[in-house]
Amino acid sequence: MTMPYDTTSGTGVPQQSSFPAVVRPGSSAVPPTTVPGATPPSVTPPPVTPATPAGNPPSAHGPAPIRFGLCGAPSGGKTTFLAALSIAVDMADQPLGRWRITATDDASLTFLTERKQDLVVGHRFPAITNSVTQYHWQINGELPSTPRRLRRPAPGAKVRFDIDVEDRPGGDFLLNGAAISEEGLKRLAVADALVLLFDPTRDIGRTEGAESNWMFFHKLFETLKLRLRQTGRLDDGILPHHVAVCITKFDDPAVFKPALHHRLVDIGEDGVPRVPDDRAEDYFGWICREIDRYSIDSSTLQFPSMLRSTFHDDRVRYYATSSVGFWIGPSGRFEAGDFQNTQLVNGEPRLRGAVRPVNILEPLIALERTIRRESR
């Protein structure tokens, strides 16, 4: 059972009912704590693997991989999302079930181990992505027991799926010139699922000339439609993908405080603040409308309707996600007055404490379950 978080009962959270201007660079409208004299951030570039042809051949060792297209603006949190995935897998427990992740090639192993180590030990975020890399991971899990009458998998059903995902610089999604190769576009067009990262901190307090999230998606979607139309796979003008819309950086005070104030956040039995699944679409609509109130153009407001006209309604799910999660202090539980898990160190955003991902593994499991169910 979850409880709506009550901001009126002396939790100590500062009142903040609407979005303030964002201070850039960095992601927080509320500048994080600065720790002087710390070491500079990691600049290790990601490993580069040669491109393999788009396609979804059945693996000799199991079911065909689920091809995910990961899309989002620069600094929107794509690489951190992938880096936090293995931590989310390690930490998963009831009600999500128990899960494991295994790299299936060297580049994916290097990313998994080095980026995880950066987050866990170095408290560092990944460096800006400047090249395209493909990653392949095998995910194994055991779903929690659920009553058969709900037509869900049998108690303790074992699940396995392989992820095939490409990480690229966010600027590529503007599709200026040949930013994404024909091969890359084909890969996105034939992907089973799209994971779309909407970064609210990009749109909050945006100034003239700064591109909104919408700019990184609208041309992409129209281009994918054209590609699929050319191959006869466009469905009544609608893209056939299953979609997880991840509204990122839920832990950022500029996002979290207004959401808390508007009673969109529940605290689960595990003590983790979340937007409940059945209110996540409302949360997205709300955040876009709130941002629009102070926006220099109408592109943020346009985002939800763009999704509605691009994808099948029943194939889109929404998640308030945080790759790094919330700070837990000496009390051992979430405190509304002290929750921020990032800080500035020598001008660079760094983690303050342990990574506790929120809704990072969940969208992938839900997409896999839906895709497998539909393919039966």
Ligand X SMILES: Nc1nc2c(ncn2[C@@H]2O[C@H](COP(=O)(O)OP(=O)(O)OP(=O)(O)O)[C@@H](O)[C@H]2O)c(=O)[nH]1
251 touches ligand X (CB under 6 A): yes
120 touches ligand X (CB under 6 A): no
Least separation in angstroms between residue 303's CB and ligand X is 17
Q: Which residues between 76 and 105 bind ligand X (CB under 6 A)?
A: 76-80
Angle at 126 between CA 123 and CA 130, to 5 degrees: 165
133 touches Mg ion (CB under 5 A): no
128 touches ligand X (CB under 6 A): yes
Minimum CB distance to ligand X smaller for 143 or for 360 = 360
359 touches ligand X (CB under 6 A): no
Q: How many CB atoms lie within 10 A of CB 204?
A: 24
When CB distances are held under 5 to 8 angstroms depending on the partner's kind, the choice from ligand X, Mg ion, none that residue 249 binds is ligand X
Q: Report d(CA 111, CA 286) in Å as an integer.
A: 35
Q: Which residues pair with 274 in a beta bridge?
A: 266
249 touches ligand X (CB under 6 A): yes
Query: 106 by DSSP, 3-state: which?
Result: helix
Q: Which two tokens stand for residue 251?
A: 């832990």
Q: How many residues form the binding site for ligand X (CB under 6 A)? A: 24
Q: Which two tokens stand for residue 238?
A: 């609608």
170 touches ligand X (CB under 6 A): yes
Least separation in angstroms between residue 274's CB and Mg ion is 25
116 touches ligand X (CB under 6 A): no
115 touches ligand X (CB under 6 A): no
213 touches ligand X (CB under 6 A): no
Residue type, 32: P
Contact partners, residue 150, CB within 8 Å, separation at least 6: none
**From 7, 129, 295, 359, residue interacting with Mg ion (rule: CB under 5 A):** 129
Q: Report d(CA 164, CA 66) in Å as an integer.
A: 6
- Upper half-sphere CA count for residue 349 (Cβ side, 13 Å): 24
Q: Which residues between 272 and 331 bind ligand X (CB under 6 A)?
A: 322-324
**From 16, 138, 342, 359, residue interacting with ligand X (rule: CB under 6 A):** 342
75 touches ligand X (CB under 6 A): yes
Least separation in angstroms between residue 73's CB and ligand X is 7
Q: Which stretch binds ligand X (CB under 6 A): 68-76, 110-118, 144-152, 297-305?
A: 68-76
With 0-12 / 13-18 / 19 or more C-beta atoms within 10 angstroms meaning exposed / middle / buried, residue 86 is buried
79 touches Mg ion (CB under 5 A): yes
Least separation in angstroms between residue 133's CB and ligand X is 11
Instruction: Report whether 138 contacts 101 (CB < 8 A).
Output: yes
Query: What does the buried/exposed string (b/e) look like for 166-202 if buried means 16 or more CB atoms within 10 Å of the residue's CB?
Result: bbbebbbbbbeeeebeeebbbbbbbbbbbbbbbbbbb
- Judged by the rule CB under 5 A, the positions of this chain that interact with Mg ion are 78-79, 129
- Judged by the rule CB under 6 A, the positions of this chain that interact with ligand X are 27, 72, 74-80, 125-126, 128-129, 169-170, 248-249, 251-252, 322-324, 342, 349
